[in-house]
């Protein structure tokens, strides 16, 4: 199931969901992948052989995204002044991760990835009988465990993701059957999202509620080719916000199917 983002710059952030693709060739195996040499097209359709420089690697996008997600989940630790030196060092390793020369992948009997090991990083995955991802947990040197759990309805569609981190913060992300995230629940706050689509399935309106009050609203228009020609963002009045009733409008112009010009207009206080 693919979670949509509808091409919005400020689309509600949904947790990263790793790809689940069985590889029977590596079933029940532990595989170490290292990057020492590579082939490159150097001209006249000839292949040249090169070597990676020290500490430079081409880590798969899936692992890079997992590390970025873990970085974001563990970010709250930076605000903790009581961290010991070991934890501070671990956090530094997360924040300044720049790639490694190898990683280890473990597969189960169905050929599904059950773990990635990248230096001190370990990502562990669990699945249900339908080979759907039900949980992934990240640690660094066995510490700072952060977990996402995935729940599915009777149709096998994802309807909830729960986030758990050591600071005690607990989040829930709720989804509809289209794959759109409709709510985020955290502590005393509930963010809700309502989506409207046209007959072509293009998103034309996104409304954001915070604790049942309208917070902001986005409107979109498209040309006959499906290019987004107008994006307008409204921010609703908030007694605690001096920048109330503001609008931001993006006007896009296309040439040969490519974005050629973008105008950004700002309106304040209902202008």
Q: What is the pLDDT of residues 84-94, one digit of tens each?
A: 777 777 777 76
Strand locations in the chain, DSSP E?
Answer: 30-34, 37-43, 46-51, 102-107, 113-118, 121-127, 133-140, 143-152, 158-164, 170-175, 181-186, 189-197, 203-210, 213-222, 228-235, 247-255, 258-267
Q: What is the mean pLDDT of residues 214-243?
A: 73
Q: What is the mean pLDDT of residues 157-180?
A: 90
Residue ranges per structural domain of the chain = 193-271
Q: Is the pLDDT of residue 55 over 50?
A: no
Residue 94's H or E segment, with its range, is: helix 85-95
What are the CA-CA distances from residue 36 to residues 33, 46, 49 (Å)?
10, 20, 11
Highest mean pLDDT among 50-54, 95-99, 162-166, 241-245: 162-166
pLDDT tens digits along 28-48? 999 988 776 655 556 666 666
């Amino acid at each position: 199931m693919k979670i949509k983002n509808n091409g919005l710059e400020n689309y509600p952030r949904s947790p990263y969901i790793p790809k689940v693709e069985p590889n029977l060739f590596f079933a029940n195996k532990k595989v170490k992948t290292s990057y020492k040499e590579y082939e490159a097209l150097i001209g006249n359709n000839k292949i040249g052989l090169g070597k990676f420089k020290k500490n430079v690697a081409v880590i798969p996008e899936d692992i890079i995204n997992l590390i970025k997600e873990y970085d974001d989940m563990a970010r709250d630790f930076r605000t903790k002044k009581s961290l010991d030196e070991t934890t501070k060092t671990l956090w530094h390793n997360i924040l300044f991760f720049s790639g490694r020369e190898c990683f280890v992948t473990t597969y189960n009997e169905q050929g599904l990835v059950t773990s990635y090991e990248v230096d001190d990083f370990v990502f562990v995955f669990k699945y249900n009988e339908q080979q759907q991802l039900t949980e992934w947990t990240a640690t660094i040197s066995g510490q700072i465990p952060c977990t996402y759990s995935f729940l599915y309805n009777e149709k096998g569609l994802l309807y909830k993701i729960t986030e758990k981190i050591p600071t005690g913060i607990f989040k829930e992300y709720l989804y509809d059957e289209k794959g759109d995230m409709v709510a985020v629940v955290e502590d005393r706050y509930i963010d809700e999202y309502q989506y409207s689509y046209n007959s072509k399935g293009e998103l034309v309106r996104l409304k954001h509620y915070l604790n049942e009050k309208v917070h902001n609203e986005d409107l979109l228009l498209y040309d006959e080719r499906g290019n987004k020609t107008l994006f307008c963002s409204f921010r609703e009045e908030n007694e605690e916000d001096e920048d109330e009733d503001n609008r931001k409008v993006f006007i896009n112009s296309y040439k040969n199917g490519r974005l050629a010009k973008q105008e950004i207009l700002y309106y304040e206080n209902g202008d």
